[in-house]
């Protein structure tokens, strides 16, 4: 089971070599994928900036992964994780922390190339 970070989705939509790694994982029917709903907002922002069709991207995300909702508790827990991570990485973000919250909840791996995840346990780093 994997959570797909925005970084990995964007590389996939760009057709990059990093994105090819995600593409190969998506082709394996044994794998189960999740996308945390806050990543959708990041993807929408990217699509606006790059003049890409978000609706097409959203259809692909929904067809290949289950969208995970976020609770109040998740946001509170994410703030704690961000606080701890910022002791190691000054600019560690709240959405990155949220992915770790959901990773722990689902006991799965995160797929990302974001340097914030480079040394985090249970991350498949595609960067």
**Using alpha carbons only, what angle is made at residue 14 by residues 121 and 68, rounded to the nearest 5 degrees?**
50
Residue 28 has pLDDT above 90, yes or no: yes
Q: Do residues 75 and 98 make contact, with C-beta atoms less than 8 angstroms apart?
A: yes
| Sign of the torsion formed by the C-alpha atoms of 5, 94, 99 and 43 | negative
pLDDT at 6: 97
55-88 pLDDT, tens per residue?
999 999 999 999 999 999 999 999 999 999 999 9
Closest to 7 (Cα-Cα) out of 105, 113, 88 = 113
Residue 51 has pLDDT above 90, yes or no: yes
CATH code reported for the domain at 2-125: 3.40.50.1010
Say yes or no to pLDDT of 127 above 90. no
Quote the tokens at residue 34: 């999740």
**Side-by-side strand order, sheet with 2-4:** 66-68, 33-36, 2-4, 109-112, 123-125
- Mean pLDDT rounded to a whole number for the chain: 96
Helix (H, G, I), strand (E, B), or coil: what is residue 101? helix
With 90 as the cut, is the pLDDT of residue 45 above it?
yes
> In this model, does residue 96 exceed pLDDT 90?
yes
Could you tell me which residues come within 8 angstroms of residue 21 by beta carbon, excluding any fewer than 6 positions away? 8, 111, 124, 126
- Residue ranges of the domains in the chain? 2-125
127 vs 19, which has greater pLDDT?
19
Q: Is the pTM here over 0.85, yes or no? A: yes
Give the position of tokens 């290949």.
64
More confident of the two residues 61 and 118? 61
């Amino acid at each position: 089971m994997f959570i797909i970070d925005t970084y990995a989705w964007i590389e996939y939509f760009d057709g990059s070599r990093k994105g090819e790694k995600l593409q190969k994982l998506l082709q394996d029917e044994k794998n189960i994928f999740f996308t945390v709903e806050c990543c959708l907002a990041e993807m929408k922002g990217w699509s606006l900036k790059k003049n890409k069709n978000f609706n097409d991207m959203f259809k692909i995300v929904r067809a290949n992964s289950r969208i995970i909702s976020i609770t109040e508790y998740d946001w509170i827990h994410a703030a704690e994780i961000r606080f701890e991570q910022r002791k190691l990485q000054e600019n560690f973000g709240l959405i990155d922390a949220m992915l770790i919250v959901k990773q722990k909840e689902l006991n799965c791996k995160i797929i990302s190339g974001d340097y914030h995840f480079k040394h985090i346990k249970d991350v498949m780093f595609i960067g």
